[in-house]
């Protein structure tokens, strides 16, 4: 990554203009050209330095719902339970974490009622309790990682 790549990455993490020629606007602030900026961004997407480029939507706004849940899974059943949980298409992210509650995942659904159905189905399929931890208040979502 050279200086322009770093500047672009830092700028584009914060936001992309909503205009007819947004890359031209970006280029103007960096003393570059529209074509140069476009090829740099495409190269960073191709190399995997950038994983996504575009609008980030709040799932709750389209009438859907999501929640974070945790389970305490016995070590000797971990792989089997993992397979059951990941088999539900409503599971978006799933992480093994360092705690007695060792499996943490996000359930995302298009309706609120579906959350409870998925939880009930996972509890039935695994025989283990699922601890539902929906957000009660959000203080900040966003991450700025200086390159």
Q: Does 34 bind other proteins (CB under 8 A)?
A: yes
Minimum CB–partner distance for residue 58 and other proteins (Å): 5
Indicate left, alpha or beta for 48 from its phi (over 0: left) and psi (-120 to 50: alpha): left
Q: Are 52 and 70 in contact (CB under 8 A)?
A: no
Q: Does 77 bind other proteins (CB under 8 A)?
A: no
Q: Does 80 bind other proteins (CB under 8 A)?
A: no
Q: Does 119 bind other proteins (CB under 8 A)?
A: no
Q: Total binding residues for other proteins by CB under 8 A?
A: 77
Give, as one character, the DSSP assignment of residue 64.
-
Q: Which of 7, 70, 119, 126 binds other proteins (CB under 8 A)?
A: 70
Q: What are the structure tokens assigned to 128, written together?
A: 């283990």
| 104 closest CA partner among 127, 81, 77 | 81
Please say which residue, 113 or 141, places its beta carbon nearer to other proteins: 141
Q: What are the structure tokens assigned to 86, written together?
A: 């990941």
Q: Does 123 bind other proteins (CB under 8 A)?
A: no
Minimum CB–partner distance for residue 124 and other proteins (Å): 19
Minimum CB–partner distance for residue 73 and other proteins (Å): 11
Question: Using CA atoms, how far apart are residues 121 and 99, in angstroms rounded to an integer?
Answer: 24
């Amino acid at each position: 990554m050279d200086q322009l790549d770093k500047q672009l990455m830092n700028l584009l993490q914060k936001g992309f203009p909503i205009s007819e020629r947004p890359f031209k606007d970006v280029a103007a602030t960096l003393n570059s050209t529209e074509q140069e900026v476009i090829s740099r961004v495409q190269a960073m997407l191709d190399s995997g330095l950038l994983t996504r480029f575009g609008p980030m939507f709040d799932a709750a706004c389209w009438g859907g719902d999501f929640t974070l849940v945790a389970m305490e899974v016995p070590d000797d059943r971990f792989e089997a339970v993992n397979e059951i949980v990941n088999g539900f298409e409503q599971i978006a992210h799933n992480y093994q974490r360092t705690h007695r509650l060792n499996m943490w995942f996000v359930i995302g659904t298009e309706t609120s009622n579906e959350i409870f159905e998925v939880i009930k189905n996972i509890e039935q399929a695994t025989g283990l309790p699922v601890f539902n931890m929906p957000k009660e208040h959000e203080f900040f979502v966003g991450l700025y990682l200086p390159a």
